[in-house]
Chain A
């Protein structure tokens, strides 16, 4: 298992880890608290691949997702990493 990089699949949008410095600014811009954001599980298939790039991703990190949108072209959303 795991030889295929799931980020290359056409159903999977771009995922990035947000650095701690940027977190605050993003939350301020969105006007929400971290707990109010959509969630992504620590065990998510994409996070397992991202951990190879960024190293350990702790619970509570922000993941930036650039989705392809049929209405807006592309759109940036954020998910917060949660325990399983």
Chain B
């Protein structure tokens, strides 16, 4: 199913890469031998440090080394092969661990040369929407030509459907389109309408009716989720950690129908620390720490006493002596002091025995339409969870928007903001038009990172000094503006109100010019 092609990976110096880039296409003499028959063209990956591929070159010819004029040599001696390098491409660094060797294992480091396969670009799937049908395309083009505007896709889709259903003739059909375009034009936002203010009012007013409490979900053991106003504030504040991070983890087919298998995965995800299954007792008398495992808790989490002993070896900074006696583990330090003993105790308590960091609980529940089992978690770590084999990465999500921006990109964060905000409002029985929320999300993600609405985010970045001063911390902005000699061109709304001019909104933003008729 996966298209893979064998490529070459070698380590090289930056100066060689630069020479290749300047002179390509060119013959390049290298100090390794290529024994395999390769189908040309072949891609070669160049690693500078030996841990990640930094450049990709297209190789169109491979032959035995012979001295030739105009070739570039990798080294001065032991040259064996000539590669014809067609072009050198800068690529985003690919960790070598993503390359597979022929035996199916992944590469670790390349010191000189290696073969490797990388999942080919052909399988990168971008497409998500269906293509336009010929009728839709024709209609879209006609409307653009005739009226000079583009109708939204959903309208076009509906129009084509209606035409087929009602079997309209050409004349009626034209009339329908005429009316639709007319209505559409009427319903567009007017130029210089203050959409931001309208959005703020539309979200703010229902916001007053929201609950201030953090609710606890009934029925789910020890799980609660921030709802209502606190959650909405959290979303627009772009907090790096929501107060109750949670994930919904969906699983692949074959696992998700079976409760037992899903529970197995949940156990794998839930991180277990030593303090979850054992008590750590500090004994000052003989300067030692004793770990007393709770057998019931250990059984529930599927941890053995040996696992605890193993995990202690992770504490490399300490030279510990570990004694295992029956059901308790004694840990000693070579040069014990009270402080050291205390610090050791603290780091032992939070040692992860298994699971994914940051996820403190994982609960298996039926999905909303009860067709499958889903894992709900407390704590969130999207990057690591998506890499699990059992997880259906397409649907798995978290309520941590910043994490989504990091792992899935800025556009995903925009969608997440919209969904989270709408869901929060709807849970409270409030209906806010999605366009307002979309505007907020667009503004928050405008600069490529998620920014808060407020003085630390988008309001603090306004160009105008007076507008910033009018918002919050007036004196700070005026003072720095004075020191730096900032200018204010009075283009925005707030600054024009301050100086008593008509604001650049609605009719205030346009100038009427009257051209009299010639008599």
> Which A residues lie within 8 Å of B367 (CB)?
none
**Interface range, B side:** 35 or more
Nearest CB of B to A4, in Å: 4
Query: Complex formed: what's the CA distance from A29 to B152 in Å?
Result: 16
Central interface residue in B155, B393, B395, by most chain A CB within 10 Å: B393
Binary per-residue interface labels of chain B (397-411) against chain A in the complex, 1 for a CB within 8 Å, 0 otherwise: 100000010111111
B412 pairs with A73, CB closer than 8 A? no
Known: A16-B126, A44-B409, A46-B411. Is A1-B387 also a contact (CB below 8 A)?
Answer: yes
Query: Complex formed: what's the CA distance from A10 to B415 in Å?
Result: 10
> Which B residues lie within 8 Å of A1 (CB)?
95, 383, 387
> Which A residues lie within 8 Å of B393 (CB)?
4, 8-9
Binary per-residue interface labels of chain B (224-260) against chain A in the complex, 1 for a CB within 8 Å, 0 otherwise: 0000000000000000000000000000000000000
B89 pairs with A56, CB closer than 8 A? yes
Known: A10-B394, A10-B395, A73-B153. Is A41-B126 also a contact (CB below 8 A)?
Answer: no
> Which A residues lie within 8 Å of B408 (CB)?
6, 9, 11-12, 45-46
> Which A residues lie within 8 Å of B90 (CB)?
55-56
**A11 contact from B92, B125, B416, Cβ within 8 A:** B416
B448 pairs with A75, CB closer than 8 A? no
Query: Complex formed: what's the CA distance from A10 to B409 in Å?
Result: 12
A24 interface residue (CB < 8 Å to B): no
B171 interface residue (CB < 8 Å to A): no
Nearest CB of B to A63, in Å: 9
Residue of A nearest to B106 (CB): A3
Residue of A nearest to B445 (CB): A38
Query: Complex formed: what's the CA distance from A20 to B270 in Å?
Result: 48
**A74 contact from B126, B129, B415, B416, Cβ within 8 A:** B129
B127 interface residue (CB < 8 Å to A): yes
Query: Complex formed: what's the CA distance from A40 to B412 in Å?
Result: 12
B448 pairs with A41, CB closer than 8 A? yes
> Which B residues lie within 8 Å of A7 (CB)?
124-126
**A39 contact from B154, B415, B446, Cβ within 8 A:** B446
Nearest CB of A to B188, in Å: 12
B435 interface residue (CB < 8 Å to A): yes
**A55 contact from B89, B124, B442, B447, Cβ within 8 A:** B89
> Which B residues lie within 8 Å of A23 (CB)?
none
A45 pairs with B407, CB closer than 8 A? yes
> Which B residues lie within 8 Å of A16 (CB)?
126
B92 pairs with A12, CB closer than 8 A? no
B170 interface residue (CB < 8 Å to A): no
Nearest CB of B to A76, in Å: 9
A66 pairs with B129, CB closer than 8 A? yes
Nearest CB of A to B434, in Å: 5
Residue of A nearest to B404 (CB): A11
Binary per-residue interface labels of chain B (165-189) against chain A in the complex, 1 for a CB within 8 Å, 0 otherwise: 0000000000000000000000000
B61 interface residue (CB < 8 Å to A): no
> Which A residues lie within 8 Å of B445 (CB)?
38
Binary per-residue interface labels of chain A (46-84) against chain B in the complex, 1 for a CB within 8 Å, 0 otherwise: 111111110110000000011111111111000100100
> Which A residues lie within 8 Å of B368 (CB)?
none
Nearest CB of B to A78, in Å: 12
Binary per-residue interface labels of chain B (376-399) against chain A in the complex, 1 for a CB within 8 Å, 0 otherwise: 000000010011000001111100
Nearest CB of A to B191, in Å: 12
Known: A8-B394, A39-B447. Is A49-B411 also a contact (CB below 8 A)?
Answer: no
**A44 contact from B98, B387, B448, Cβ within 8 A:** B448
A31 interface residue (CB < 8 Å to B): no
Query: Complex formed: what's the CA distance from A13 to B127 in Å?
Result: 9
Nearest CB of B to A66, in Å: 6
B125 pairs with A46, CB closer than 8 A? no
Query: Complex formed: what's the CA distance from A63 to B12 in Å?
Result: 32
> Which A residues lie within 8 Å of B95 (CB)?
1-2
B412 pairs with A5, CB closer than 8 A? no
Nearest CB of A to B399, in Å: 12
B contact residues vs A (CB 8 Å cutoff): 56, 89-92, 94-95, 98, 121, 124-129, 152-157, 383, 386-387, 393-397, 404, 406-412, 415-416, 419, 434-435, 438, 442, 445-449
Known: A11-B397, A46-B410, A55-B89. 18 other contacts (CB 8 A): A2-B95, A4-B393, A5-B125, A6-B407, A6-B408, A7-B125, A9-B394, A12-B408, A13-B411, A38-B446, A44-B409, A55-B90, A67-B411, A68-B129, A72-B153, A72-B154, A73-B153, A74-B153
A contact residues vs B (CB 8 Å cutoff): 1-16, 38-41, 44-53, 55-56, 65-75, 79, 82
What are 8 pairs between A and B in contact, CB < 8 Å?
Answer: A4-B393, A6-B408, A14-B128, A45-B408, A45-B409, A46-B410, A47-B92, A53-B124
Q: 10 closest A-B pairs (Cβ-Cβ)?
A: A73-B154, A72-B152, A73-B153, A56-B90, A46-B409, A39-B448, A11-B412, A45-B409, A41-B448, A55-B89
